[in-house]
Structure 1
Amino acid sequence: MNFRNILVPLGLVILVVMGFRSYGWPGVAAIGGAVLMWALLHFTRLMNVLRKASDRPIGHVGSAVMLNAKLQAGVSLMHVVAMTRSLGALQSPENEQPEVYRWTDGSHSHVTCEFRNGKLVKWALERPVAPAEPQGGDQGPAAP
């Protein structure tokens, strides 16, 4: 069970009650204004991340290797989208857990990330296999 769904509203109610008991209705207004400001700051950050991501192709990243190095377990999907400045290409069925997204770079390397409840659980970097060099064959002109 996700306790954040219970604790955040409970904390807000406690703050409003404390504001009312300490300062009356002006305290409730101050707490309400602070909560509204906090919500607007998060909304603004979300809109900025999505605006920057809308300028790039879905599932594209500058360097999959650098993305792989920067990822950490537990970061949110919004944080990964902010790092890549691109929405990931959805690989899993829609509205099912876990959500799997993929970001690919110009060399066809890609990072596949698995999110559970919006948090990064695991990820994997896959690089394309380089073609094998010919053995023997043409080695250039022979030395005289």
Structure 2
Amino acid sequence: MNRYVGWILAAIFVAFGWRVYGWPGVAMAATVVVFWLLLQFNRTLRVMQNAGRAPVGLVPSGVMLNAKLKPGMTMMDILQVTKSLGKERPDLPDTWEWHDQGGVTVTVTLPGGKLQSWHLTRPESSGGNEDSGGSAASP
């Protein structure tokens, strides 16, 4: 959800609580909003803990990761899929990569925090370099 939409909904919820129940309604609305924020924070911590336990940049299957990627995903969504932190590419800005034991590498580009494009690279020994990927832009 867009963060602005979330904050607008929270403000509407607080205003509704005030309009219907007065100060007790505001207190209830504020409690619900804080609870929602705590749930989001807990989700973030759980994803980061799971990703921190795994080897950096290693996924069980690069091909499966490639199939699960969709344009517009955030880094948090990608970390839930990979269950590991990616290796940042120092030569390219906002670019991260994961690999599997077979040598398949998936490189993702996240300008502005949203997945724009990704690229699958297979090792040379598997019959040539077959690349596939995706992009948010249509051809």
Equivalent residue for 2:96?
Answer: 101
- 1:104 and 1:87 map into 2 onto residues whose CA distance is 11
Structure 2 spans left out of the alignment, 5+ residues: 128-139
Equivalent residue for 1:16?
Answer: 14
Structure 1 residues 131 and 112 mapped into 2: Cα distance closer, same or farther (>3 Å)?
Answer: closer
Equivalent residue for 1:84?
Answer: 82
**Which of 25, 29, 32 is the matching residue for 1:31?**
29
Structure 1 residues 24 and 92 mapped into 2: Cα distance closer, same or farther (>3 Å)?
Answer: farther
Structure 2 length as normaliser, TM-score? 0.81
Following TM superposition, by how much is the alpha carbon of 1:92 offset from its aligned partner in structure 2, in angstroms? 4.5
Following TM superposition, by how much is the alpha carbon of 1:57 offset from its aligned partner in structure 2, in angstroms? 1.3
**Which of 21, 44, 47 is the matching residue for 1:46?**
44
Structure 1 spans left out of the alignment, 5+ residues: 133-144
Higher gyration radius (CA): 1
1:26 aligned counterpart, secondary structure:
helix
Structure 1 length as normaliser, TM-score? 0.78
RMSD of Structure 2 on Structure 1 (CA): 2.0
**Which of 123, 132, 139 is the matching residue for 2:118?**
123
- 2:3 and 2:82 map into 1 onto residues whose CA distance is 28
1:58 aligned counterpart, secondary structure:
coil
Q: Deviations over 1:88-143 (max 9, x none)?
A: 111147xx9x51110011112100001122211110100111178xxxxxxxxxxx
Number of aligned pairs?
A: 126
- 2:88 and 2:52 map into 1 onto residues whose CA distance is 15
Give yes or no for the alignment of 1:113 onto 2:108.
Answer: yes
- Residue identity matched to 2:16: M
Percent identity between the two aligned chains:
38
2:45 aligned counterpart, secondary structure:
helix
